[in-house]
Amino acid sequence: MKKIGVIANVKRPNVAEMLERISNWCEKNQVELTFNQEAADFFNSQSSRKIKTKSAPKEDLWKNADLILAMGGDGTMLVTARAVAEHKTPILGINLGGLGFMTQVKTEDLEKSLDRIKEKDFNIEERMVLQASFVHNNHWYALNEVVIEKGGISRLINLHISNNKEFVGSFSADGLIIATPTGSTAHSMSAGGPIVNPKMQAIILSPICPQSLAVRPIIFPAGEIIKIKVETLQKEAILTVDGQITHPIKSGDEIVIQKAGHTVNLITFPERSFFEILRQKLNWGVKPKAGS
């Protein structure tokens, strides 16, 4: 590890201190450091250092980094994944507050974690990514989920689902969440979808408030191509990617969902298992204590 890139949410508390600590560690270990442009501007305005930190647009950080640090919460992890994942650059999440389900490292463990990476004491976990597109149109990548929803309209939308083999079914609902296993503990779970181990390869469909009680979440093999045709009596519905990118959907539009050709490579440490995170972050499977 000779080069580190940093994508930071500068609105998080203590971010200036954390950027200073990373800078000090890199200087001590003779590691080249590059911040994304917003983080560099923020750091240079806060730090007393005379030498300005190197910077680059977040989409270009992979060109000069063996590792990317995503400093913030899960939203920062999603931004980072979208910026560098296609180039297979490993990502380490530093949690600066909030739930931080995907971020591996607490602030107090920053230097120790970087030391472990330097000594090659870590794992690379490949996470499946979804590709969403309109027929004959641009595409987007999602680490967590793609959501089709009615937006601001009060009426239900009609969704007609098929895979690359056959027609699956139709239903009316407020919308539909198409999630990866990584995203199964996010929006999909809140809509009643299953928790799926993020090491698996699967596409999870979780209807949002369906009109019929018979419509339940369903899991498809990752190799299938899912097509969703949307019908609405209103002007348009909305496509949302990882809660950060939106695109209008017109009645009659068909959205194609499939496994992307790349993965997101997350740096993990062996003592931090998926089920431990479930117990700590979501209290899943934790038996209440008597009298509490």
Residue type, 284: W
CB atoms within 10 A of CB 1: 16
Catalytic: 74? yes
Residues 138 and 132: beta-carbon distance below 8 Å: no
Q: Which one of the listed residues 41, 60, 66, 74 is annotated catalytic?
A: 74
Residue 211's SS3 state is coil
Count of residues making up the chain: 292
CB atoms within 10 A of CB 233: 10
Cα 109 from Cα 90, distance rounded (Å) = 18
The distance from CA 61 to its chain's CA centroid, rounded to whole angstroms, is 18
Q: Where are the alpha helices (DSSP H) in the chain?
A: 15-28, 37-46, 74-84, 110-118, 187-190, 274-282
- Report the side by side order of strands in the sheet with 254-259: 139-142, 130-134, 254-259, 226-231, 157-162, 167-173
Distances (CA, A) of 170 to 10, 44, 215: 44, 54, 9
Cα 202 from Cα 130, distance rounded (Å) = 10
Catalytic residues: 74
